[in-house]
Amino acid sequence: MHPDNLGVFSQGILVSAALVLFTSFVMLAQARIQPLIYAFAWQGALLSVTTALVALVSGHAHLYISALLTFGLKALLIPWMLYRLTQRLHIQFDVEIVSHPSLTLLAGAVLVVFCYYVALPVAQLSTLVTRNTIAVSMATVLLGMLLMITRRTAVAQVIGFMSIENGLFFAAVASTYGMPMIVELGVAFDVLVAAVLFGVFFFQIRSSIDSLDVDRLDRLSEKGD
């Protein structure tokens, strides 16, 4: 369906979905830890706005609860936990050297085009108001994976993992108007527990090798062999 034929709130879904995708590129291009956390928080906030708009257009009231959970957990609590961890580890102002940043962004653009190509038949057959955002949800997942692959610090890789979870949640909203509430509550609890465990993991790495660069773990393993 052409965007001109959509209502105001349906067009708002497309705009907010595009901004969610934009934050994935911001995270890919960001070399500093602190702005990377801020970009992840903005992605969570935009994801909650998109979910609320889908609830408004589709009439699925449970999505309002999902939007509130997403905002509280992914836009406030987890970014705050990550920021506090970086402060305690004194790495909030660290800069990570990203190899070939231009090629990384180009690879991200190629992944977006690929996702739109794959999702085109689904979008044409679907009758959901969110059919035009299915490709965005897929691209968010793949860009989160790309962030994990191209970064060496544990914090950046954890944020990439959380971004993948954002994309999966977005895919559930876009394809089926969300999961059952008990499933969403379970996933939210699992993500929160994972964030706590990652914090413990950060301190263990820092105390062992005095760095959060995971490449040093590989070098230690090679020396041990």
Q: How far apart are CA 141 and CA 218, in angstroms?
A: 26
pLDDT per residue as tens, the chain (225 positions): 545 555 787 788 889 999 999 999 999 988 888 899 999 999 999 999 998 988 888 888 888 888 898 899 889 988 998 888 888 877 777 777 777 888 999 999 999 999 999 988 877 777 676 777 889 999 999 999 999 888 877 788 888 888 998 998 888 887 777 666 666 666 667 777 777 666 666 666 665 555 555 555 555 445 555
Task: Report CA 210 to chain centroid distance, whole Å.
Answer: 28
Query: Can you say whether residue 60 is alpha, beta or left, with left for phi > 0 and alpha for psi between -120 and 50 degrees?
Result: beta
pTM: 0.83
Q: Which residue has the tokens 């506090």?
A: 84
